[in-house]
Amino acid sequence: MSDTITVYEKPTCTKCREMDRFLRDSNIDFTQVNYYLEPLSEKQLRELIKKMGIKPRELLRTSESIYRELGLGKKELTDDEIISLMVKHPDLMQRPIVERGDRAVLGRPTENVKALL
């Protein structure tokens, strides 16, 4: 497994800042990717979801206004449609996502990342 840890984040997100602090306090080297400035491709997002071992719908942020505006809670969507929407609207993704080698976890709560360390 690669030792490189990558955190996909939105820097203004409280949970993302908690992850940053946790990793720095633990003296762990990591790379940060602001997926608003460096958008994830569908391929990248598919790989992350596969590494997390979850369904795309589990990564949706249902509390976001864009979720309600698009009526996503009322629609039956395929995994492909959900992934496409998350790429187009990054606010729909739970965050932070922490990746190490062939594994990834959702960093909510922060303790989830301990499985990668």
| pLDDT reported for residue 105 | 97
* 10 closest CA partner among 43, 27, 31, 32: 32
Q: What is the pLDDT of residue 38?
A: 96
Identify each DSSP E strand in the chain by its residue range: 5-9, 31-34, 97-100, 103-106
> What does the chain come to in residues?
117
Tell me, what's the pLDDT at 2?
Answer: 60
The tokens for 3 are 């030792």
Domain boundaries of the chain, sorted by first residue: 5-116
pLDDT at 1 over 70: no
Instruction: Specify which residues 106 forms β-bridges with.
Output: 97
Tokens representing 85? 């929407």
CATH annotation of 5-116: 3.40.30.10
pLDDT bucket at 3, cuts 50 / 70 / 90: confident
User: Each residue of 31-76: pLDDT tens digit?
Assistant: 999 999 999 999 999 999 999 999 999 999 999 999 999 999 888 9
pLDDT surpasses 80 at 106: yes
pTM over 0.85: yes
- Stretch 98-116: mean pLDDT: 94
pLDDT, residue 117, reads 86
Q: Which residues are catalytically annotated? A: 13
Q: What is the dihedral of CA 113, 46, 29, 22, to 10 degrees?
A: -30
